[in-house]
Structure 1
Amino acid sequence: MAPSPRTRRTHERLQTAALALFERQGYTATTVTQIADAAGVTPMTYFRHFPTKDAVVVTDPFDPLIAEAVIAQPRELAPFERVRRGLLTALDDVAPDADDVARRRVAVVAAEPSLRPAVVAATAATETAIVERLVADGTPALDAAVAAAACLAACTAALLAPAHDTTAPGSLHARVIRALAVLRPTDTLGATS
Structure 2
Amino acid sequence: MPEQHSTLREQRRAETQRMIQRHAVRLFTERGYSATTVTDVAEAAGVSPMTVYRHFPTKEDLVLVDQHARILAERITATPAGQPLVSRIGRALIDSAATLTGEGDDDGDGAADRRFLLARLQLMISTPALRARHLDAHYALQQAIVDALGDEAGDPDSAFQAQAAAGASLAALHTALVRWAEDDGRTRLPDLIAKALGAAFGDDVVAPAGSAEAQ
TM-score of the pair, normalised by structure 2: 0.77
Asked if structure 2 preserves the Cα contact closer than 8 Å seen for 1:158 and 1:175, the reply is yes
Candidates 151, 155, 158, aligned match of 2:176: 158
CA distance in structure 2 between the partners assigned to 1:60 and 1:151 by the alignment: 19
Asked if structure 1 preserves the Cα contact closer than 8 Å seen for 2:95 and 2:190, the reply is no
Q: Secondary structure at the match of 2:162?
A: helix
Decide whether aligned partners of structure 1 residues 164 and 71 sit closer, same or farther in structure 2, where only a CA change above 3 A counts. Answer: closer
The alignment of Structure 1 onto Structure 2 pairs a total of residues equal to 187
The percentage of aligned residue pairs carrying the same residue is: 34
Candidates 21, 24, 42, aligned match of 1:18: 24
Candidates 45, 48, 53, aligned match of 2:51: 45
Measured after TM superposition, the shift of residue 112 of structure 1 is 0.9
Measured after TM superposition, the shift of residue 162 of structure 1 is 7.8
**What is the identity, as a one-letter code, of the residue corresponding to 2:133?**
A
Measured after TM superposition, the shift of residue 121 of structure 1 is 0.8
Q: Secondary structure at the match of 2:152?
A: coil
1:172 matched to 2:189? The reply is yes
Asked if structure 2 preserves the Cα contact closer than 8 Å seen for 1:99 and 1:171, the reply is no
Matches within 5 A, 1:139-158: 139=153, 140-158=158-176
Decide whether aligned partners of structure 1 residues 4 and 164 sit closer, same or farther in structure 2, where only a CA change above 3 A counts. Answer: closer
Measured after TM superposition, the shift of residue 176 of structure 1 is 2.5
Measured after TM superposition, the shift of residue 104 of structure 1 is 0.7
**What is the identity, as a one-letter code, of the residue corresponding to 2:91?**
R
CA-to-aligned-CA distance 1:78-106 (integer Å, 9 cap, x gap): 11211111212222333233221100101
**What is the identity, as a one-letter code, of the residue corresponding to 2:25?**
L
**What is the identity, as a one-letter code, of the residue corresponding to 2:71?**
L
Structure 2: state its 5+ residue gaps. Answer: 1-5, 103-109, 205-212
Asked if structure 2 preserves the Cα contact closer than 8 Å seen for 1:99 and 1:173, the reply is no
Name the residue aligned to 1:101: 116
Decide whether aligned partners of structure 1 residues 184 and 99 sit closer, same or farther in structure 2, where only a CA change above 3 A counts. Answer: farther
Candidates 113, 123, 133, aligned match of 2:148: 133
Measured after TM superposition, the shift of residue 57 of structure 1 is 0.8
Q: Secondary structure at the match of 2:187?
A: coil
Q: Secondary structure at the match of 2:75?
A: helix
Structure 1: state its 5+ residue gaps. Answer: none
Candidates 67, 72, 77, aligned match of 1:66: 72
Measured after TM superposition, the shift of residue 113 of structure 1 is 1.9
Q: Secondary structure at the match of 1:93?
A: helix
Q: Secondary structure at the match of 1:52?
A: coil
1:112 matched to 2:127? The reply is yes
More helix by proportion, 1 or 2? 2
Q: CA RMSD in A?
A: 2.5
Decide whether aligned partners of structure 1 residues 110 and 64 sit closer, same or farther in structure 2, where only a CA change above 3 A counts. Answer: same
Decide whether aligned partners of structure 1 residues 157 and 143 sit closer, same or farther in structure 2, where only a CA change above 3 A counts. Answer: same
**What is the identity, as a one-letter code, of the residue corresponding to 1:4?**
E
Q: Secondary structure at the match of 2:35?
A: coil
Decide whether aligned partners of structure 1 residues 162 and 12 sit closer, same or farther in structure 2, where only a CA change above 3 A counts. Answer: closer
CA-to-aligned-CA distance 1:32-52 (integer Å, 9 cap, x gap): 111111100111111111111
TM-score of the pair, normalised by structure 1: 0.85
